[in-house]
Amino acid sequence: MTGSPDRGVWTLAEIRNGRVHEISGELLAWGRSLADSLGAPLVSVVPESVPDGDLDGLVAWGADVVIVLDSQEGTLPEDLLCPLLARLVRRHKPEIFIASATTTGRTAFSMLYAELETGLTADCTGLRVDEKTGMLLQTRPAIGGNVMATIKTPLHRPQMCTVRPRSMKPLVMDPSRRGRIVRETVEERSFVSRLEVLDSIRDVGRGTPISEADILVVGGRGMGHGGNFRLLEQLADLLGGQVGATRQAVDMGWAPYSSQIGLSGKTVSPRLYISFGVSGAIQHIAGMSTAEKIIAVNRDSDAPIFDVADLGIVGDVGEVLPALIRDMERRSGPCQ
């Protein structure tokens, strides 16, 4: 490996609170297979200064080159980041550039692709290189997950896309891997941002956002009343997961909007989704059908949620949920 990022497969590292987030490893796992098919270098672009150990981590996750935008000022506002990324792209001409479909990734890339006048495909769940043409084939769910569309960018470079968080696991870190770290000093402001962050409110209570949760315990109108959502939290704690909700449950004030799953809420891809009193309306299923394992509890054996579930329990939430919590508590108790 020459250590040059030229014409490579690039990924935009996801930074939270000054540290490299695990999602960056998911992107590198996608990127590694693409880079290997193309015989191109895999690059991780880090949009702000982070501890050195985190940069080594990116190499251990598979990056051949890490480019850091070293700035004194922490997170750069999007309108300063965009021209810096555009300059790097124009200099090194990557074939492919991928980011995560998070709020930051989507925002940065929506500005960058317009600046570069190339294509951008949102929220992909599948990426591969076409053997004949060497082009990136990007697959994404459309119309609420009922249709999978495969999209390419034949004439413009880089081929850009955002990928759904959790659609790939990071590779196991290999500390013996070698890579090159390139520092790009962000010079004193040559121009001024149009944006000024007045306040950042970190939301400690909520923990992992549902779009990134491994395990989701979801409640719908069949929960009966808002107080019952406490039981869902108990179960989520026992399983090490987060609580999600349907729009009906959110509209009734039983759960915050940030936990709404579906067409007008968040798209989720957990390893395990278990729902209580959720009918499985198409707008809800649109947001969760890519979950790995789906379990549903509903008293109506015809509820459409059972059409997408792996395990269906036909019964009353009022009976099943408290008994399940008791059972789980017993199993995780000290006698075990």
Partner 1 sequence: MEIAVMIKQVPATDSVKIDPETGTMIRDGLEMEINPLDLHSLEAAVTLRDRAGRGRVTVFTMGPPSALRAVRSALAFGCDRGFLVTDRAFGGSDTLATARTLAAALRKEGPFDMILCGERATDGETGQVGPALGHLLGASVLTYVNDILELGEGYVVVRRAIEGGEQVVRAKLPAQLGVVKELNRPRLTTLRRRQAARETPIPSLTAEDLGLPKERCGLKGSPTQVVSISYPEVTRSCEMIQVGTDVDRAVSVLAEALLKEVAPR
Residues contributing to the site for ligand FAD (CB under 6 A): 220-222, 224, 246-249, 260-265, 277-279, 281, 283-284, 287, 298-300, 303, 316-318
Q: CA 71 to CA 239: how far, in whole Å? A: 40
Contact, 193 vs 80, CB < 8 A? Answer: yes
Identify which of residues 98 and 101 has a Cβ nearer to ligand FAD in the complex. Answer: 101
Among 165, 16, 160, smallest CA distance to 101 is for 165
Q: Both tokens of residue 45?
A: 């672009």
> Contact between 310 and partner 1 (CB under 8 A)?
yes
Cβ at position 315, least distance to partner 1 in Å: 3
Any idea what the Cα angle at residue 131 is, between residues 126 and 137, rounded to 5°? Answer: 30
Q: CA 326 to CA 10: how far, in whole Å? A: 48
Q: Which residue from 150, 172, 183, 300 is in contact with partner 1, where contact means CB under 8 A?
A: 150
The listed partner (partner 1, ligand FAD, none) that binds 246, CB under 5 to 8 Å by sort, is ligand FAD
Contact, 298 vs 279, CB < 8 A? Answer: yes
Q: CA 59 to CA 174: how far, in whole Å? A: 8
Q: Which residue from 6, 48, 56, 316 is in contact with partner 1, where contact means CB under 8 A?
A: 316
Site for partner 1 in 172-231 (CB under 8 A): 194-203, 206, 209, 212, 215
Identify which of residues 91 and 331 has a Cβ nearer to partner 1 in the complex. Answer: 331
Cβ at position 153, least distance to partner 1 in Å: 5
Site for partner 1 in 50-69 (CB under 8 A): none
Identify which of residues 125 and 248 has a Cβ nearer to ligand FAD in the complex. Answer: 248
Per-residue interface string for the shown chain with partner 1, residues 228-257, x marking contact by CB under 8 A: -----------xx----------------x
Cβ at position 22, least distance to ligand FAD in Å: 26
Q: Both tokens of residue 16?
A: 């939270």
Q: CA 170 to CA 174: how far, in whole Å? A: 11
Q: CA 156 to CA 290: how far, in whole Å? A: 30
Identify which of residues 4 and 283 has a Cβ nearer to ligand FAD in the complex. Answer: 283
Q: Both tokens of residue 262?
A: 């579906």
